Structure 1
Amino acid sequence: MKLARLPASHLSRRRLVNLAGLTALAALTAACSATNQTAPQPVEPAMPRFTSPITAQQVIGKWGLAAYHRPEDAARTEAQARQGCRQPYLINAGPSGGFMMYLADQSQPSEVVSKQVLPGPIYIGLPDEPPGAETDREVLRFDGQVLVMKWLDPEVAGRYGTMVYVRCP
C-alpha cells in the first residue's frame, strides 16, 4: 500500500502544532516539578513601624495628674499632680502589649503605645496610627517618676493644656 504524499506546507504546519504541544507539555511538567520541590521560604518577622525607649511596664501604675496652659506654671502643676495621688489616674496594661489611657473627650480608655521614629520625638497614641498623628500626645519629659505630655491637636491642647503625671508612691 502506497501512502499519499502530503504537500510540504501541510507537514510544516503539523510539525509546528506538534512542537508547540510538546513545548507546552514540557513547560507544564517543569512547573509542576519545580512547585513540588521548592521548599517554603522562611517568613521574616515583621519589623515594627516604630520603636520607643518608653515601655508599657514603665508607665503602668497609679499617677497623680494635673495640667497647665502657661509654661511658667509647670513647677506648680507638678506639685499639684503629686497631690492628685489621693485620687490617682490609673494606667493599666492593654490587651495587646500597650497600656490603657483616655483619649481626648473619650469616656472609656483606649490602648495606646509609646512610638518614635528615630531620631524624632516620642509620642503616646493609638498603635495603628503613625507617630505624630493628630490624636497623639508628644512626650516632653519622662524620667520614670514624672511624665509630661502635650496634645498635638491644637484645639485639644487649648482645652486640656500640657498634662503632668507624677507617679504615686
Structure 2
Amino acid sequence: MPASIRSDEIVGRWGLASFQNPADRARTEAAARAQCKNPYVIGAGSSGGVIMHLADQATPQELRLKGSPSGKNYIGPAGPTPGEQDREIVSFDGRVMVTRFIDKDAATRYGNMVYVRCAPRA
C-alpha cells in the first residue's frame, strides 16, 4: 500500500536527536536543529526509496516508504507493513519528522527520533 508521504519529501539534510518523554519534544527539536552542523543525510534510493540506517546497522541501505490500511506511514525494508525493522512516521509536517521503531527493544533504546530539516546551504 503506498504511503501518503513521498520519498522525495524526506530526502535531504536533517538535524537528528531523540526523546523518551513526550514533554521533552520541544527541547529535543531544538537539540536536533543544533545538529545541522553535522547533519544526518537521507539520500534518494536508486529504485524510488530512501537511503537510511536500520536500527543497529552501520551501513545505510535503501528503504521504502509504506502505507497501511490504518493510514499510518512507515519506513523500512520491503515486506509486510509494519515489519519488525520498520519505523512508524509518528508525525511529519515537511520541516519536522518524528519516527519510532516498531521493534520494542529498538524503540526503547532509540526513543522517538526527531528529524529537523536543515536550511539549504547558502
Aligned pair partner of 2:99 in 149, 163, 168: 149
Match in the other structure for 1:118: 69
For 1:148 and 1:66, the matched residues in 2 are separated by: 10
Which of 46, 71, 86 is 2:22 aligned to? 71
Tell me the amino acid that sits aligned with residue 87 of structure 2: R
Runs of 4+ residues deviating >2 angstroms = 117-120
Q: Report the alpha carbon displacement of residue 72 of structure 1 after superposing the two structures with TM.
A: 1.0
Aligned to 1:58: 9
Alignment partners' CA distance in 2, 1:77 and 1:122:
22
Compute the displacement of 1:113 (Å): 1.4
Q: Which runs of 5+ in 1 are unaligned?
A: 1-49
Query: Which position in structure 1 is the counterpart of 2:108?
Result: 158
- Greater per-residue strand proportion: 2
Whose radius of gyration is greater, 1 or 2? 1
**Aligned mates of 1:133, 1:93 — CA distance in 2:** 21
Whole-Å separation in 1 of the counterparts to 2:84 and 2:71? 16
- Mapped to 2, the partners of 1:103 and 1:138 lie a distance apart of 12
1:9 equivalent in structure 2:
none
Q: Could you tell me how far 1:124 is from its partner in structure 2?
A: 0.8
3-state SS of 2:48 partner: coil
Residue 120 of structure 1: how far off its partner (Å):
2.9
Provide the C-alpha distance between the structure 1 equivalents of 2:69 and 2:93, rounded to a whole number of angstroms: 19
The aligned amino acid for 1:76 is R
User: How many angstroms does 1:93 deviate by?
Assistant: 0.7
Using structure 2 for the length normalisation, give the TM-score.
0.94
**Secondary structure of the residue that 1:63 maps to in structure 2?**
strand
Distance of aligned partners of 1:119 and 1:157 in 2 relative to their CA distance in 1, 3 Å threshold: closer
Superposed displacement of residue 95, structure 1: 1.4
Q: Quote the residue 2:48 is aligned against.
A: 97
How many residue pairs end up in the alignment? 119
RMSD: 0.9
Partners of 1:118 and 1:152 in 2: how far apart?
A: 16
- Letter matched to residue 22 of structure 2: P
